[in-house]
Amino acid sequence: MSNFSTWVKTSHTVKFGAVGILVLLLLIPTYMIQGLISERQLQSQNVINEISSKWGYDQTIAGPIINIPYKDVLASQNDKGQTIYTNTISTMHFLPEQLDIKGDVKTELKHRSIYDAVVYSTELNIKGHFNKIAIEKLGIATENVLWEKSYVSLNIPDLRGINKRVILNWNGDTLEMNPGIDDNDILVSSGNKYTSYDNYDRSAIETVPVKNSGNGSSGLSAKVNVKDAASIDFSMTLDLNGSSSLYFIPIGKETNVTLSSAYKTPSFDGAFITDSNVVNDKGFTANWKVLNLNRNFPQEWTNSAYNINEAAFGVNLLIPVDHYQKSMRSAKYAIMFILLTFLVFLFTEILNGFKIHPVQYLLVGLALIIFYTLLLSISEQLGFTTAYLLSSAAIILLISLYSKTIFKENRLMALLAGILIILYGFLFVILRSEDYALLIGSVGLFIVLCVIMYLSRKIKWYGDDVNEQLG
């Protein structure tokens, strides 16, 4: 029994096993830290949504579109297999031949506690023309067309963002646009969006439209006479508020959109890239040109035959809050940091004949965990880079001074501090070089493994003696 007790006390294998158990136990607070980061990230998004709900959500403009109701007969079968014919009203949709949109986007930063949200106001100048309405392309009989109920629609997700009356110049006539669209064939309301996080990584953020619960789409409309028009020219000015992003759907046979703003960090997103763009310290200017050949829907159709939402494009004005992403990514490396730091202490203990108590290992591990709470809390105030430098410096200093009380040697304390500086510097490079993170991480871990294998080559795993010639 005494031999076994002696072996337990002196065996390096047992020591490594005990340290391994401590590493596994420290995974619990590590996962708690990751949950905290995700909670703070979600809270930030909730604040943005709250601000947007009062100013105006992100906007997606689709229109103007000519809509012409017609009488239709739908065939269905009852439980007995009999064919039942039902008279109903369907809608034809016709898109413009040419659509040109120009706008200047004025942004404003709204603050709520420690969080910020970008809102904007813009004056969009919309003009273009329609060709003669050709219902024969859709195979609709003239006698079934309800010409008197024809209307033009402009889909706007969040009508609260409209600041002025919208006057439509329609082939020389002046028409006032009114809220409400009778059908939801074209575009359901997409203003009230929620955000889903994929592994808490903002780069994989996806916005999902919330469908309108009403009978119609969210937008403006006006009655128009299109029966005998050879062509139709139109123009309007839309004074609009929104937040986070401004998107357009290319409904024209040729759609041209030009946006300018003093905002310095835009992201051009959606189904189509910019035809040209300039981004500098003065802001940005972006141009899009989309042809009907580039999208997945025609110039005319009936009912809800096509989903035009998939063709949306525009600019994203979200504030880059990458400190949450980077904090989460850094937390995923916590197990590696704990393990490598413990290995440094282990090899120092074995090679220099020290005895380090498991409680001391635990305290060092907790210090490493505290780094991530410091990083998260400080990054919300000062940004990620500053927070990383301050947090890593604090933890390196703390562990180094604590190691001095264990090792009683300045040389070993300096060695440990140097290793920690390399580790935290290594992690910072990985976080900054996202495209090469896997390569840098793989090479780094390979080097670490080589060093560990070299230092442990002559360790007697069944006892605590080390070859005197080691090293």
Read off the pLDDT of residues 79-114 as tens digits, 9 standing for 90 and up.
Answer: 777 666 677 888 889 999 999 999 999 988 777 766
Judge contact between 117 and 58, C-beta under 8 A.
Answer: no
Place of tokens 């992690």: 427
Q: What is the DSSP letter of 133?
A: P
Neighbouring-strand partners of residue 231: 131
In three-state secondary structure terms, 87 is: strand
CA atoms within 13 A on the CB side of 54: 9
| CA atoms of 312 and 61, how far apart (whole Å) | 9
In tens, the pLDDT along 182-238 reads 766 666 444 333 333 333 333 333 333 333 333 456 789 899 888 888 889 999 999
CA 465/CA 229 separation, integer angstroms = 99
Backbone dihedral region for residue 353 (phi beyond 0: left; psi -120 to 50: alpha; all else: beta): left
- What are the C-alpha distances in Å from 120 to residues 104, 371, 438, 466? 10, 37, 38, 69
Number of neighbours of residue 93 by Cβ within 10 angstroms: 25
* Helix extents (H) in 235-383: 322-331, 334-352, 358-382
Query: pLDDT 10s digit of each residue in the chain, 471 long?
Result: 455 455 445 555 666 677 777 878 887 888 888 888 777 777 777 777 777 677 778 889 998 999 989 887 666 676 777 666 677 888 889 999 999 999 999 988 777 766 777 888 899 999 999 998 888 888 888 888 888 889 999 988 888 888 889 999 998 889 998 888 876 666 644 433 333 333 333 333 333 333 333 345 678 989 988 888 888 999 999 999 888 889 999 999 999 999 999 888 888 888 888 888 898 888 899 999 999 888 888 898 888 778 888 889 999 887 665 677 778 878 877 887 788 888 777 777 777 767 777 788 888 888 888 888 888 888 878 878 888 889 889 988 988 888 888 877 788 888 888 888 888 888 888 777 766 666 776 777 787 778 777 766 666 655 544 444 344
d(CA 307, CA 297): 8
**Which residue in this structure is represented by tokens 């076994």?**
4
The predicted pLDDT at position 203 comes to 36
What is the bridge-based pairing of β-strands 254-261 and 98-112?
A: parallel
Extract the tokens encoding 232: 């139709």
| Spatial distance between the Cα atoms of 466 and 471, rounded to a whole number of angstroms | 10
At a CB cut-off of 8 Å and minimum separation 6, what does 287 contact? 256, 257, 258, 274, 275, 276, 277
Q: Which residues contact 282 (CB under 8 A, 6 or more apart)?
A: 262, 264
Tokens of 421: 């500086």
Contacts of 187 (CB under 8 A, 6+ apart): 60, 62, 155, 217, 219, 249, 308, 309
C-alpha dihedral sign at 330, 334, 339, 343: positive
Q: What is the pLDDT of residue 376?
A: 84
